[in-house]
Structure 1
Amino acid sequence: MTTSIKSTALKLLPGFGGFLAIWLLSLLGDSARFPLLMAPFGASCVIAFALSQSPLAQPRSIVGGHALSTLVGLCALFAFGDHAWSMALAVGAAITLMQLTRTLHPPAGADPLVVMTTGASWGFLFTPVLIGSIVLVLVAYGYHRAAKASYPAKWW
């Protein structure tokens, strides 16, 4: 295989990983009859599959970032309602708390907005957020093992 073809093939692999993760989350959610998908998981796939060695792609950041940001969004929604200022406050607080807890994950910055614009309930923290992000990390782990790549750099 020429270097150019090999290079192109390697660039296609992260896309397959993202496809696999979202497809499995969708199938598992359908069979379990509860949602395991939310839009920010698409962006998490970019980081988990294309930038797997980044601190932002590690399980602590993916699971912790999504959980913390969703919790912030839920607290803000139930304390203040869904206003422009409360959405802004929730996103800012989520960013700050992710930095302080070393769980920074950029796609999770959207979680408070998802929570507040959909009027999510407290159950949203568990499904799709916690279970979905854990499944996403497990798919990334399996994918990178099959590709003979090292992931994660550290679990926690």
Structure 2
Amino acid sequence: MTRGAKPYHLESLEERYPKWVVRSLYTGVNSFISIFLMAILAYNTDAPFVFPSLGPTAFLLFFTPLAAASAPHNAFVGHLIGVLAGWFSLAVTGLLNVPPDLEKIDWQRVLACAVALGLTCGLMPVFQAAHPPAGATTLIVSLGLIRTPDHLLIMMVAVCVIVLQGFVINRGAGLPYPVWRKHAKNAPPDD
């Protein structure tokens, strides 16, 4: 590269090629890489390092990396709220040790799902951690699909790993991806 030439970061690619092509490839390739690595972890450990709400998290991390919902704080705290609310809902409805049955949802499960989602959606604004995929995380837990303390911990480790991947990839692409929170001065209003 010659002196004064722009590095091939995401923004310079968007100046040279159609923005939708660059964004599409950036989002698709990096989401593939992130989930592929998580699936390899799951394959090698027989642990739930891949669960449905990581897909939308990957999409946010790479399609809208500078949005507040994509910041590490929001992704981590949002999923943590979802996991804890889901577990709490299982505990208060007596379903902690009941395996899932998606073909027959009883009133305990109905209540568990409603409590979990209500708590998750109510607490994310309190902790300024809006992350829509956390709504799926809390339902995964409250439906009993992932419910043991060990597996819930692994879910949170998976969130940390994918957020770290997002940080490395986005910073490597020259984006000012936040270390923890999106800076308020650059943040669009959430209202």
Could you state the TM-score of these two structures normalised by the residue count of structure 1?
Answer: 0.89
The secondary structure found in structure 2 opposite 1:83 is: helix
**CA deviation after TM superposition for structure 1 residue 55, in Å:** 0.7
1:10 maps to what in 2? 23
Match of 1:79 among 69, 92, 117: 92
Q: Structure 2 CA distance, aligned partners of 1:75 and 1:113?
A: 12
Q: Structure 2 CA distance, aligned partners of 1:42 and 1:18?
A: 8
Matched letter for residue 180 of structure 2:
W
The secondary structure found in structure 1 opposite 2:113 is: helix
* Residue 112 (str. 1) matches residue 125 (str. 2): no
1:45 maps to what in 2? 58
* Residue 68 (str. 1) matches residue 81 (str. 2): yes
CA-to-aligned-CA distance 1:96-145 (integer Å, 9 cap, x gap): 11110111110001112101222611223211x21100000111111112
Matched letter for residue 68 of structure 1:
I
CA-to-aligned-CA distance 1:15-48 (integer Å, 9 cap, x gap): 1111111001111222234221110000111111
Q: How does 1:17-28 map to 2 (within 5 A)?
A: 17-28=30-41
Displacement over 3 Å in runs of 4+: 1-6
The secondary structure found in structure 2 opposite 1:148 is: coil
Matched letter for residue 105 of structure 1:
H
Contact 1:67–1:125, Cα closer than 8 Å, also in 2? no
Q: Percent identity?
A: 24
Q: Structure 2 CA distance, aligned partners of 1:30 and 1:18?
A: 18
* Residue 155 (str. 1) matches residue 171 (str. 2): no
Q: Structure 2 CA distance, aligned partners of 1:104 and 1:18?
A: 20
Contact 1:77–1:119, Cα closer than 8 Å, also in 2? no
1:142 maps to what in 2? 168
Match of 2:150 among 114, 119, 123: 123
Q: Which runs of 5+ in 2 are unaligned?
A: 1-12, 96-107, 182-191
Q: How does 1:27-42 map to 2 (within 5 A)?
A: 27-42=40-55
**CA deviation after TM superposition for structure 1 residue 90, in Å:** 1.2
Contact 1:21–1:136, Cα closer than 8 Å, also in 2? yes
State which structure, 1 or 2, has the greater radius of gyration over its C-alpha atoms: 2
Q: Structure 2 CA distance, aligned partners of 1:145 and 1:41?
A: 20
Matched letter for residue 47 of structure 1:
L
Q: Structure 2 CA distance, aligned partners of 1:3 and 1:97?
A: 40
Matched letter for residue 149 of structure 2:
W
